[in-house]
Copies of this chain bind each other. A is one copy, B any other.
């Protein structure tokens, strides 16, 4: 007998969970579509060389590689030294999608002649990472991305921030959108005299929420930043909005990052007075392909961390030979949003995974009539289930109760003779005898549905 356990870091989703996840996805998707973004789906597996080298050394280790089919060992020379990395590139030529961005870039490069720019696409698909599973971290999870490529216009940033606002409005989840720019971070690194170690400077700052300001200062100093400047900067990084802009200007920030961020905030605020978009100089974001504005969304009144993020990149497809395609994109974290909605009890009551009506069987004789009623209910948009076996009524009612089915249709000999049925309301504990034909034709006169 085989062991029947789920693989490590993987999840089954029951109907309760699937319907709630789909609710979130449908809200996100409706916003994407209303802004003119179209769906794209790329395959789960890519050629290994499409993925490797795109996510840094740490990322490469987390890519799930798929073994070649057939006699994969014949690709390995006899007496080859045993080295996992050398071997894996010989015995594996495909890998599972690690994110949605690199496959999107590959798609763009493949279809460069058919695509009209600006090209707006969204993509909602699972990705896989061989991370050590822990609370809230899984080896398979969904990413929900929207990107537009082919335009340098900052209106795109405004539009994407508006999309964030619309989604979280629709979910009734109060959020704050934080914005900064890689150009501002470059100014900071320049000020500190470590402009040539820009990525290292950002990666240290990116961890400020986890490790605290003192540790950031310590690591910056280790990187070569004079202590005084590190201290000066870390004080500014605690500021938000206009004071942060002013402080950075006073420091001598010369790039146009501050201007760009201010412009986006100004335009956004004109159209979205209810939503918070705030300049946050502590925002760094780890992905190294961002070059312009960067964003992150977090729930107010909650400690779930980031619910999504994104940014602008000057060149995404250059690695695949398609030059000069700038873009900007946002991403939503489905699992975190799920937890935030669950905690705040914000899933709508209308999400239900139980049918409205159960037709039960009292005898083989009446079964056909009950089946007919149930079939007709479905034609009239009622979700109806037929209990397949003529077992004891109590067992069938227990099933309805456990499934959370509110109404039960019962047809016995009397009802069969009178052309009626008994409608039992499991919630109110009431039962009515009603005309069978009228019920089938006008079920909503009798049923209180969600």
Interface of A with B (CB < 8 Å)?
Answer: 1-7, 10-15, 18-19, 22, 33-36, 38-47, 49-50, 53, 61-62, 64-67, 69-73, 82-84, 87-88, 91-92, 94, 96, 105-107, 109-111, 116, 118, 120-121, 126, 128, 130, 139-140, 148, 151-153, 155-156, 158-159, 162, 166, 267, 270-271, 319-322, 353, 355, 358, 367-368, 371-372, 375, 378, 381, 383-389, 399, 402-403
- State the Cβ distance, A124 to closest chain B Cβ, in Å: 10
Contacts of A70 in B (CB 8 A): 61, 84
Residue of B nearest to A118 (CB): B388
Copies of this chain, how many? Answer: 2
Q: Which of B71, B126, B353 contacts A84 (CB 8 A)?
A: B71
Q: Which of B45, B84, B105, B155 contacts A140 (CB 8 A)?
A: B45
Q: Is the CB of A36 within 8 A of B383?
A: yes
Q: Which of B44, B367, B371, B384 contacts A44 (CB 8 A)?
A: B44
Q: Is the CB of A155 within 8 A of B388?
A: yes
- A73-B84, A270-B368 are known contacts. Are A38 and B15 too (CB-CB below 8 A)? yes
Q: Which of B3, B7, B19, B66 contacts A64 (CB 8 A)?
A: B66
Q: Is the CB of A7 within 8 A of B389?
A: no
Complex CA gap A267/B49 in Å reads 57
Question: 5 pairs across A/B with beta carbons < 8 Å?
Answer: A10-B43, A12-B110, A13-B39, A64-B69, A116-B399
Complex CA gap A313/B43 in Å reads 32
Q: Is the CB of A156 within 8 A of B6?
A: no
- A72-B88, A118-B388, A271-B372 are known contacts. Are A39 and B15 too (CB-CB below 8 A)? yes
- A39-B15, A139-B45 are known contacts. Are A64 and B67 too (CB-CB below 8 A)? yes
Residue of B nearest to A108 (CB): B4
- State the Cβ distance, A80 to closest chain B Cβ, in Å: 11
- State the Cβ distance, A128 to closest chain B Cβ, in Å: 7
- A320-B1, A375-B162 are known contacts. Are A69 and B120 too (CB-CB below 8 A)? no
Q: Is the CB of A155 within 8 A of B371?
A: yes
